[in-house]
């Protein structure tokens, strides 16, 4: 039988351990760690001989003090050093945690992102928080949002259900970007009874006019079951890998498919999806078992 003193030691040790874990999740992992996660794959319909390196950043969630403009600029410098042919931004530039963090204006985070460089350009889509934080866009039921405008003003290509053909050393491929799948929140004033998206997968892919491979940017991975095998690779963020993971399991994943598309490289029906764990925090400024990451993908 445990003694009273032993019980107090056990309780005290548990409190100290919990405080240490909380401090790590609150102040160390989201602030002091940054991983580079690498994937190498050749999708079934990839053009033989086409070598392409994509550097992917997503879910920045700019805010003070966890993700100020200075830290975004530092992340961009590291991204530039990774030798990418193309840089892809997958949305959620704003934080959505205004009750617990300080606001970073779009002119500040977009200026930091403007330091990104790649031979084939920097290309972006928007995320749900970019829409949710824009009251005018919500009232109008459409964009552009202030995020669209901020990125376009600094010369970053923004895709809203659009596909563009690019070339590397004479070999073509397509970048297609969906508008957000959860863009509009419910509200009686705007006659929306449930969350609705502004994504148009069919219309976007209809713009692809040849057989060259397609890379699809979609902030949320939930579109993946509808993506045809015509698309070589789908890239998503949004889930943060669950943001908190214990022994590889995330208790909460913001996807109707749960863990199915929570994180990493997924293959289904000859289709490839890579979901990044992202860089910032949503709902609460904590990360545990899922440090911020830049994703590097070597195709071909």
pLDDT at 24: 45
Question: What are the residue ranges spanned by the domains of the chain?
Answer: 33-299
What is the pLDDT averaged over residues 86-100? 88
Predicted confidence (pLDDT) at residue 80 exceeds the cutoff of 60: yes
Question: Residue 28 has what pLDDT?
Answer: 55
Distance of alpha carbon 153 from alpha carbon 150, whole angstroms: 5
Segment 187-218, tens digit of pLDDT: 755 555 678 999 999 999 999 999 999 999 99
Q: What is the mean pLDDT of the chain?
A: 89
pLDDT value at residue 38: 98
CATH code that applies to domain 33-299: 3.60.21
Residue 168: pLDDT over 70:
yes
Can you tell me the mean pLDDT for 128-140?
95
CA dist., res. 236 & res. 234, Å (int): 7
Tell me how far apart the alpha carbons of residues 189 and 265 are, in angstroms, rounded to a whole number: 40
Q: What is the largest CA-CA distance in the chain?
A: 76
3-class DSSP state for residue 106?
A: helix
Give the start-end residues of each E strand in 58-207.
63-64, 86-89, 102-103, 122-124, 157-158, 162-168, 171-177
pLDDT at 12 over 80: no
């Amino acid at each position: 039988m445990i003694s009273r003193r032993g019980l107090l030691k056990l309780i005290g040790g548990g409190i100290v351990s919990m405080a240490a874990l909380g401090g790590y999740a609150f102040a160390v992992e989201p602030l002091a760690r940054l991983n580079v996660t690498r994937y190498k794959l050749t999708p079934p319909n990839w053009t033989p001989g086409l070598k392409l390196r994509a550097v992917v950043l997503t879910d920045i969630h700019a805010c003070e003090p966890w993700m100020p403009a200075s830290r975004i600029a530092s992340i961009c410098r590291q991204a530039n050093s990774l030798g990418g042919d193309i840089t892809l931004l997958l949305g959620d530039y704003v934080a959505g945690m205004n009750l617990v963090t300080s606001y970073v204006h779009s002119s500040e985070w977009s200026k930091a992102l403007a330091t990104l460089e790649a031979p084939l350009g920097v290309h972006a889509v928007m995320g749900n928080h970019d829409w949710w934080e824009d009251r005018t866009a919500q009232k109008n039921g459409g964009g552009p949002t202030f995020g669209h405008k901020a990125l376009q003003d600094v010369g970053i290509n923004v895709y809203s259900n659009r596909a563009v053909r690019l070339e590397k050393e004479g070999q073509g491929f397509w970048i297609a970007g969906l508008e957000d799948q959860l863009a509009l929140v419910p509200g009686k004033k705007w006659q929306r009874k449930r969350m609705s998206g502004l994504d148009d997968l069919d219309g976007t892919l209809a713009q692809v006019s040849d057989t060259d491979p397609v890379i699809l940017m979609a902030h949320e991975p939930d579109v993946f079951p509808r993506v045809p095998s015509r698309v070589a690779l789908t890239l998503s963020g949004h889930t943060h890998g669950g943001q908190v993971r214990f022994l590889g399991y995330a208790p909460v994943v913001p996807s109707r498919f749960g863990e199915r598309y929570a994180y990493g490289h997924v293959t289904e029906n000859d289709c490839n999806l890579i979901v990044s764990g992202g860089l910032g925090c949503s709902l609460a400024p904590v990360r545990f078992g899922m440090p911020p990451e830049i994703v590097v993908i070597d195709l071909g």
